[in-house]
Chain A
Amino acid sequence: MVELAKDFRTLLRVAWLTEMEYRANFLISIVGALAYNASQLLFISVLLHAFGGVAGWTGPQVFVLFGIRMASHSVCAFFFRRMTDLDTVVHTGEFDRYLLRPVSLFLQLLMRRFNLQQFGDVVIAAAVLGFALPRAAIDWTPAKALWLVAAVAAGGMLEAGLQLVRGALSFRWTNTESMTGLIETVFGTFGNFPLQVFGGVGAVFFTLVLPLAFVGWIPAAMLLGRQDSLWFPGWLGWWSPLVGVGCFALAIVFFGRQSRHYASPGS
């Protein structure tokens, strides 16, 4: 663990110095992240503006869901953005270098670049939550607040885990680019809805198969006291953060296993 921390510090320094080389891109990247998230915000706002609420949830309630999902996403983006780089790392042969060094493969991927530009995601998420939470009539307790933090962190880990699994497929498949798009689109567009809109089968599907439920719907339902929307007993929802952590751990193991199939490009 001490060794891992030392490697982390060393790689952090390189990542930071690399980031400083790209200072010019920094601002525009923040603006990019802001714009991307703003378009989702607009999408939700327009929908709520025209329809008032969705599937029995009021506008403010949907906004809380949206804010939690954004916050989860910004955790993923801020800490684990590099998971989406894995296919590039594999196809360019950069992974050669990782294998040659006496440092954890996962750590090297994680620290490939510094993630400062993802600050835009954090800002938007904070703004949305700051707007939505006071308007949603939640009876706060310290435990609930702590639980929300855990749920958001776990949601970020879940998304990161999915991206890592997707990236790890590129050890065997030639191209997984469209799957990055799929995950981003499904999470970005449909993760913002209370999932009961997809009907019973859809809600089960998004809980067990493509675990979208854990990045917004379940945490929001628990926080808002809308356990009635869930398809499983409400008390189970309090344990939902474990799913994100578990998925992430499994994803790291999967990544390690798949890396055995690495066929370095070029001759």
Chain B
Amino acid sequence: MTAGARPSGARGVHDTVGRAWAMVRLGAANALVFRANVVVSMLSVALQTVLLVTVWRAVYSGRHSVAGVTGDRAVSYAVLGLVLGHLALPWRLSSLPERVREGTVATDIIRPVGVVGQSLLQSIGAAVGALPGVATALLLGALLGGLTMPATVSAAFGFMLTAALGWLIATLLNLMVSMVAFWTTDTRGPFYVYRAVASFASGALVPLWFMPDWLRPTLEALPFALQVFAPLQLWFSEQPLGGVGGVVLAQVGWLVVAALLTALVSWRALRTVVINGG
């Protein structure tokens, strides 16, 4: 770590960076430690990529464009949407429910980084752990000829920026939702609701292009569309919300809202914390 070479005046910063780095590594290690799991998740992503490309090609067979969207674009979208969805909505929403169930959250509260901070850093780690899957999907998508590149550099740049911000919104919301673990032991129900709404409304399953006209405005008003659909529109050089600036502005707004909500919920949660098994 390069932070080690700092002068002693930066000691506090160094410690904080060190701790944060440790949390990120913990998250990545948790994801990577089970080698079978990594292999399976790569296979799973690979299989899904192939299937998605095939399905969309088949659905389009004989048609050039539907709802103003060409087949090539729909296929590209499907692969990229899979990748973004894979990152934004991981199988494990956050490490929090597990730690509440096992009672280790009690020690987390004492640790200096804070429960929310730790969970977020571990999510970053988990995203790093998901990168092999992402690489697999992109590679396969490209091999199958199902990946069109952004037309301009600025489109690519806009996509990267907004995708990152979208991931941050998703991770904050994931964390907020996973805090229901503080109130109920069986988290499956609420998680399913959230997962269903998020994956549908974000456009990870079906691009919002194909939504009926009465549904689309509602979906675009939700923060989920900013996680997958809006970044991908920029990739394809569409101009949602007046371009990159508009999307980023909306994302920052939602980030603030999500952060406030997360802070509120975690404040309530930690006040009523029930440690299991103690």
Contacts and interface: CB of A to CB of B under 8 A. Distances in A.
Contact of B189 (A29, A175, A177, A189): A29
Contact of B212 (A49, A117, A186): A49
A46 B185 contact: no
Contact of A43 (B33, B91, B206): B206
Contacts, number: 117
B36 A175 contact: yes
Interface in A26-53: 28-33, 35-36, 38-39, 42-43, 46-47, 49-51
Query: From DSSP, what is the main secondary structure of chain B's interface residues?
Result: helix
B193 A197 contact: no
Contact of A178 (B40, B63, B205): B40
A32 B47 contact: no
B37 interface: yes
Contact of B210 (A38, A46, A175, A182): A46
A46 B51 CA distance: 18
Bin the interface of chain A by size: 35 or more
Given A25-B184, A177-B91, A198-B54, A43 B189 contact: no
A24 interface: yes
A190 B44 CA distance: 13
B55 A35 contact: no
Nearest to B210: A50
B47 A35 contact: no
B190 interface: yes
B58 interface: yes
Contacts of A186: 47-48, 51
Given A35-B196, A35-B197, A39-B205, A174 B189 contact: no
B55 A198 contact: yes
Interface string B194-209: 0111011000011000
B212 to A, nearest CB: 6
Interface string A39-74: 100110011011100110000000000000000000
User: Which 9 residue pairs across A and B have the least CB separation, nearest first?
Assistant: A32-B189, A32-B192, A175-B34, A197-B58, A29-B189, A39-B196, A182-B44, A28-B189, A178-B41
29 contacts: A22-B185, A25-B185, A28-B184, A29-B188, A32-B189, A32-B193, A35-B192, A36-B192, A36-B196, A39-B205, A43-B205, A46-B210, A46-B211, A47-B59, A50-B67, A54-B58, A117-B189, A174-B37, A175-B34, A178-B44, A181-B44, A182-B40, A182-B47, A185-B44, A186-B48, A190-B51, A197-B58, A202-B51, A202-B54
Interface of B: 33-34, 36-37, 40-41, 43-44, 47-48, 51, 54-55, 58-59, 61, 63, 66-67, 91-92, 184-186, 188-193, 195-197, 199-200, 205-206, 210-212
Interface of A: 22, 24-25, 28-33, 35-36, 38-39, 42-43, 46-47, 49-51, 54-55, 117, 173-179, 181-182, 185-186, 189-190, 193, 197-199, 202
